[in-house]
C-alpha cells in the first residue's frame, strides 16, 4: 500500500493489520520522522502488535553535514519499552534481524538502517551473524600487541 507522507496513518493501519491477524505488516520511514508517528508506535507497543518498522537515514555525521542527525532518535527508540530496536551492520545481520522480527510475537520491531553503501563482513573470518539473536555477540577478538587474539579465559 502506498501511504505517501502519512506517517501516523501508515503506522496505525499497520497496527490494525497486525492485530487483525494473518499478516505481518512492515513499513518504512525516515528516522527523524519517527517523532511524527510516536503515537502509532506507542499504540503498537501497548497492544503488542507484531509490526516491523524500517527507519532509514543517510548517516551524514560521517560526511560532515549535520542535517537530520539520527543519533538521538536511535537512543530514544531504544528507550521505548517492548520495542525491539535492531541496527544491523551488514547484509548478513539484516537477514538475521528479519528472521528475529518474524519470530517476535509480543511487540513491534524497529530496524535502524543506513542508506549508505555498507560493506559485507566476511563471515568465514569473523563471527556468524546468527549471534544477533543473542542481543549482542563478539564479532572478533581484539588483538594484543603481539598480534595474537586476547585470551578471554
pLDDT digits (tens, 9 = 90+) for 26-35: 888 766 566 6
Q: Is the pLDDT of residue 105 over 90?
A: no
Greater confidence, 105 or 94?
94
Tell me whether residue 102 is in a domain. Answer: yes
Q: Which range, 4-13, 37-46, 55-64, 87-96, has the best average confidence (pLDDT)?
A: 87-96
Tell me whether residue 137 is in a domain. Answer: no
- What tens digit of pLDDT does each residue of 55-99 get? 876 555 555 555 555 667 778 888 889 999 999 999 999 999 999
Which value, in Å, is the radius of gyration of the alpha carbons in the chain?
18
Catalytic residue from among 7, 72, 93, 105: 7
Cell reading at 31:
528516522
- What tens digit of pLDDT does each residue of 111-145 get? 988 877 889 999 999 999 999 999 889 998 887 77
| 34: alpha, beta or left? (left if phi > 0; alpha if psi -120 to 50) | alpha
Domain with residue 30: its CATH number is 3.40.50.970
Which pLDDT value is given to residue 61?
52
Cα 110–chain centre separation = 4
Tell me whether residue 134 is in a domain. Answer: no
pTM of the predicted model over 0.85: no
Tell me whether residue 136 is in a domain. Answer: no
Q: Is 12 helix (H, G, I), strand (E, B) or coil?
A: helix
Q: Which of 13-17, 19-23, 111-115 has the lowest mean pLDDT?
A: 111-115
Q: Is the pLDDT of residue 3 over 80?
A: no
Tally of domains within the chain? 1
Q: Is 51 helix (H, G, I), strand (E, B) or coil?
A: coil
Instruction: Look up 72 and say whether it is catalytic.
Output: no
CA angle, corner 29, sides to 61 and 99, nearest 5?
A: 95
* Residue 109 parent element (H or E): strand 109-114
DSSP conformational letter for 60:
G
Contact criterion met (CB below 8 Å) for 114 and 58: yes
Tell me whether residue 125 is in a domain. Answer: no
**Nearest alpha carbon to residue 95 among 115, 70, 123, 66:** 123
Tell me whether residue 124 is in a domain. Answer: no
Tell me whether residue 126 is in a domain. Answer: no
Residue 32: give the domain boundaries. Answer: 7-119
Tell me whether residue 79 is in a domain. Answer: yes
Cell reading at 26:
512492515
Amino acid at each position: 500500500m502506498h501511504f505517501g507522507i502519512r506517517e501516523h496513518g501508515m503506522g496505525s493501519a499497520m497496527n490494525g493489520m497486525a492485530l487483525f491477524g494473518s499478516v505481518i505488516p512492515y513499513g518504512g520511514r525516515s528516522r527523524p520522522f519517527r517523532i511524527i508517528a510516536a503515537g502509532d508506535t506507542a499504540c503498537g507497543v501497548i497492544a503488542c502488535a507484531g509490526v516491523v518498522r524500517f527507519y532509514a537515514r543517510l548517516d551524514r555525521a560521517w560526511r560532515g553535514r549535520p542535517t537530520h542527525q539520527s543519533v538521538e532518535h536511535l537512543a530514544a527508540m531504544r528507550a521505548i519499552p517492548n520495542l525491539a530496536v535492531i541496527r544491523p551492520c551488514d547484509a548478513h545481520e539484516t537477514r538475521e534481524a528479519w528472521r528475529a522480527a518474524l519470530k517476535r510475537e509480543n511487540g513491534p520491531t524497529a530496524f535502524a538502517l543506513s542508506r549508505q553503501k555498507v560493506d559485507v563482513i566476511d563471515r568465514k573470518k569473523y563471527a556468524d551473524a546468527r549471534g544477533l539473536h543473542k542481543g549482542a555477540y563478539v564479532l572478533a577478538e581484539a588483538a594484543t600487541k603481539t598480534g595474537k587474539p586476547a585470551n578471554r579465559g
